[in-house]
């Protein structure tokens, strides 16, 4: 199961100034290349994209990206499942304070000003992973996705 979008964003972040016009241009180009490859895959191969889609950003890029994801699902002729992960605000701050993360200082403001969204998904589910480890949450999501597949 390919998971590639997050990697594409990290490439753009690594090679450009984050949130600059160069960043968005690189992210779009990487997305287009990746989506072209996905469209060549057999439709029975599931594709998993990881990302945070939230309203309220200054560029509108998240909304634009979500629209591209919806078009990818349509062009593949497959359903679009949206598994939204959330956790208690204090747990999120704790996780974001890890040295490997960089958004912990702005997280309270982001939670206040932005909303996670998945408009247009065929199947939606929200998973509170406040007390779960990544493996357990992954199993829960996989079970839910399997339950949405046609018999």
Residues 84, 124 contacting (CB under 8 angstroms): yes
Residue whose token pair is 């999120």: 92
Q: How far apart are CA 86 and CA 80, in angstroms?
A: 19
3-class secondary structure, 69: helix
Quick check: 110 and 103 in contact, CB under 8 A?
A: yes
Q: pLDDT 10s per residue in the chain (151 long)?
A: 444 455 567 788 888 888 889 989 999 999 999 999 999 999 888 888 877 777 777 788 888 888 999 999 999 998 888 998 888 888 877 777 766 665 556 667 777 777 777 888 899 999 999 999 989 999 999 999 989 887 6
pLDDT value of position 144: 92
What are the start-end ranges of the E strands in the chain?
Answer: 81-86, 123-128
């Amino acid at each position: 199961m390919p998971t590639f979008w997050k990697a594409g964003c990290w490439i753009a972040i690594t090679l450009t100034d984050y949130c600059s016009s160069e960043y968005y241009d690189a992210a779009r180009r990487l997305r287009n290349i990746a989506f072209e490859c996905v469209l060549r895959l057999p439709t029975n191969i599931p594709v998993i994209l990881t990302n945070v889609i939230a309203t309220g950003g200054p560029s509108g890029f998240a909304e634009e990206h979500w629209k591209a994801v919806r078009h990818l699902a349509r062009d593949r002729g497959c359903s679009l499942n949206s598994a939204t992960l959330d956790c208690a605000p204090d747990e999120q701050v704790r996780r974001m304070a890890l040295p490997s993360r960089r958004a912990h200082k702005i997280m309270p403001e982001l939670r206040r000003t932005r909303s996670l969204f998945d408009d247009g998904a065929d199947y939606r589910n929200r998973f509170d992973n406040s007390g779960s480890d990544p493996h357990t949450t992954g199993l829960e999501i996989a079970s839910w996705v399997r339950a949405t597949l046609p018999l």
